Amino acid sequence: MDDATGQPTTTDAQYMARALDLASQAAARGEVPVGAVLVDRSSGRILAEAGNETEAAADPTAHAEMLAIRRAAAASGRPRLPGTTLYVTLEPCTQCAGAISFARIDRLVFAAVDPKGGAVVSGVRFFEQPTCHHRPVVERFDDAGRAAELLRGFFRPRRRRAGGDDPPPDDARPGARPAARSVTTSQLALPAEASAADPSSA
């Protein structure tokens, strides 16, 4: 988010840092390292947060975004969450993009791109479809290096055990500022160097 002078505030970086901590905790539990933080835009208060729990819950829908949305909705007693921003370390999948739309979340900020499983700037580009009735403002977090490295570190030994290649290069860009930039989904390109490490099972 930019201030009146057009300079990035530290707020986005702080919330994304928390999401990254949650992703690290998920990796320590043996989960695909994805973290999400849902924030009330007017107060800056964190309404809910989560890391992936698909293994622990034996639930294929227990992605970080889904859990954060469910917890915030349950706490508020209502199924819609307008006036909120969702920070997530990885581009949401189709399931999570649908939940973001249904929850009427105002703004989505994500770090690493997921060419195989993502649905915001990859794959179906859910928010651009005519059947999508609510489209959040979508912003790409400029410094996605840590998010991509967490994914690389998670998948690299698994690929080696399976006899596969190392994951592709991470999303780090030297000198990138840890801030979010506002763009439409159609403006978000998918350069090869901006891809995360095969998080298709996230």
pLDDT by 10s per residue, the chain, length 202: 455 544 545 589 999 999 999 999 999 999 999 999 999 999 999 999 999 999 999 999 999 999 999 999 999 999 999 999 999 999 999 999 999 999 999 999 999 999 999 999 999 999 999 999 999 999 998 877 888 888 888 887 777 776 655 444 334 333 334 445 554 444 443 333 344 544 444 4
Measure the CA–CA gap between 139 and 118, rounded to whole angstroms: 14
Record the pTM. Answer: 0.78
Quick one: pLDDT at residue 145? Answer: 83
Active site residue 65: yes
Element holding 97 (H helix, E strand): helix 94-102
Measure the CA–CA gap between 196 and 137, rounded to whole angstroms: 22
Quick one: pLDDT at residue 193? Answer: 35
Phi-psi region of 17 (alpha: psi -120 to 50; beta: other; left: phi over 0): alpha
Quick one: pLDDT at residue 54? Answer: 96
**In this structure, how many other beta carbons lie within 10 angstroms of the beta carbon of residue 11?**
17
82-91 burial string, b = 16+ CB within 10 Å, else e?
eebbbbbbbb
Burial class (CB in 10 A: 0-12, 13-18, 19+), 71: middle
Query: Is 36 in contact with 53 (CB distance < 8 Å)?
Result: no
DSSP 10-73: SHHHHHHHHHHHHHHHHHHTTS---EEEEEETTT--EEEEEE--HHHHT-TT--HHHHHHHHHH
Q: Tell me the pLDDT tens digit for each residue of 25-57.
A: 999 999 999 999 999 999 999 999 999 999 999
Quick one: pLDDT at residue 2? Answer: 52
Q: What is the CA radius of gyration of the chain?
A: 16
Selecting among 31, 49, 53, 65, the annotated active-site residue is 65
